[in-house]
Each structure stands twice: as structure tokens, then as C-alpha cells.
Amino acid sequence: MIAVDMSHDVATGADRGRPDGGYFPRGRSVLRRVHGERAVGLHYGQRGLLVGAADPLTYTGTMASTSATASPFTRLARTAKVHETVFFGTREQADRALAMVHRLHERVRGTLPEPAGRLPAGTPYAATDPPLMLWTLACIADSGEVLYQSLVRPLSADEREALWQDYLLFGELIGLPRAEAPGTYAEFRSYWRTRMESDDLHLTDDARLVAPQTAFRIPVPHHWWPNMRVSNLILMGSLPERIRGLYGFEWGMAQEAAFQALAASMRRSRRLVPRPLRRGGNEVVFDTVARTEARRLAAGKTTLRRA
């Protein structure tokens, strides 16, 4: 999303003076290392949302079952903060956040109101369905890995395997049985390729309209707008080609060259950026987005255009 000055690093109270380093301990968890990079933490959720919306059941369940559709960015900010609590917090902090997630998931169930691609109207969905939970986890995992390797550095084969095993733990924590997910990184990548090639991917009219807005038109203060153009280029350039095609996003050689140049520049200059700026949680950014949306809504403006 945006690079701003925030003082706290990933080494929060979970590590300072406490034996409880959380479910993803600092220094041992590859997931914590990956998502501790602000360049990853500020983009993976938006990218995951864009990709995830290509599953009609996942998208419909998310949008139809939320009570916060009037303030979607506040809801997304809250979800992002929950994820960071699980990634970086103590087990006690993570468990409190996860309890809220489980309560929400139990309420998310229904049926498709109209046909969506190959799925007929009336097809049931539930947030606790393992295939839907796996798709959501896969979108997070692919986004985290792609962004880290594009903007930070390549991961070794062992690191990629360890990262996927961490994601499997995250999946278990949110309710996905490990037996319902690919057991190895190679199996995950096989699953991902199959999904990207599948005719089951389909954007509903609402998803085609709404998902790009939630990714590329985030409510932020005016002085953040220049950085948003950079952020949007990162998002667009990191998307799978199949997903760009489904949305009809224009992407040619000039845009690809610009993205590759930006990514290379970020990798080269990373060590020149002070650690507190490049690593840590992003609560300040998420709260700023929520406050900006609240101000717009109070002024009678909308933050999300629906058909």
C-alpha cells in the first residue's frame, strides 16, 4: 500500500522480555520473515483479494455475509490487523483474534443468488468449507511469496518449503484441516497451476466492479496519493496473467518494463532503508485507511461504487 514512518518493528511485545514468541516465532518462522517486510504486508491482502474474487463462491460469501458493506475498507483493515496479530503476536493475542474469526466464519453461509460461470444458482457456500478455505489460504500464500521474491529477494527451495509449512499452520489456526491442503510446497504449486488453468475461475459482474476498487482505490490522505500510484503498479505487475485477463486489465511491454524496473530498484535499495521503515507491522496504515473512509462517509461520500 504505502511506505510511511512507523516506529514499531516486528519484534513487539511478543518477543521483548517474554518467552511466548507466538505461533510464528521471530528468527525461526519464514512466514514471519516474509510478512514482516512492509512491502509485503502492505500489498499481499489487496493482491489476494483480487485473485480470490475469481472464485464466485468465495467472493459471494465474503460480500453477502458481511455486515460492513457500507464501510468495506474498515472491514478490510480489521482483517489485515487480525492477520498481523496472528503472525506477530503472542499466542494469547493470536487466540483472541482467531476466536473472533471462527465466530464470523460460522455465520458465513448461503447460496448463489444467480448462476456464476459453471456454477448454477442455488449452489451452497460456507466459510468453513475446506475447498473455500484452501482457496483463501492459497491466495494469501501465493501473494506473500510472489511479493517477497519480487520486492525483497529470492527464496531458496528450503525456504519456500518452510514458508508453505508455516502457511499450513496458519490454515489450521483459522480452521482448515491440514489433511485438506497440499502437504508440500510442490503440491501447493501443482494445486495453484491447476486453479489458474481451470475454467472454474469466473468473475461475477459485482466482483469485476468491486474488487479492483478495493485494491486500487483505497481511501487515503491526499499526501499519500503519489505513493498509491507506485503501490498500484506493484499490485498490477505482480498479478498472475490469467487474473489480469479475467478483469480485462491492460498490461503491455511498457507496463511490464516499468514494474520490473521498480521491483529491481526496491530489491537493490532495500538495505539503504532504515529497518523500522522496511520491517514491522502496519497497524498505523490500516487505521489511517479506516479513519479516512469514516471521514468520507461522514461527509456523505461513498467509498465503493456498486452497480
Distance (Å, whole) CA 57 – CA 199: 14
Q: What is the pTM of this model?
A: 0.91
- From the CB of residue 213, how many other CB atoms can be counted at a distance below 10 Å? 15
Query: Following CA atoms 191, 215, 146, 225 in sequence, which dihedral angle do they give, to the nearest 10 degrees?
Result: 180
What digits encode the pLDDT tens for the residues 169-220? 999 999 999 999 999 999 999 999 999 999 999 999 999 999 999 999 999 9
At residue 62, the pLDDT reads 80
Report which of residues 15 and 128 the model is more confident about.
128
At residue 276, the pLDDT reads 87
Q: Under 8 Å CB-to-CB from 307, ≥6 apart: which residues?
A: 205, 206, 209
Q: Per-residue pLDDT for 2 more than 90?
A: no
- Answer for the pair 189, 261: CB distance below 8 angstroms, yes or no: no
- Answer for the pair 290, 76: CB distance below 8 angstroms, yes or no: no
At residue 9, the pLDDT reads 37
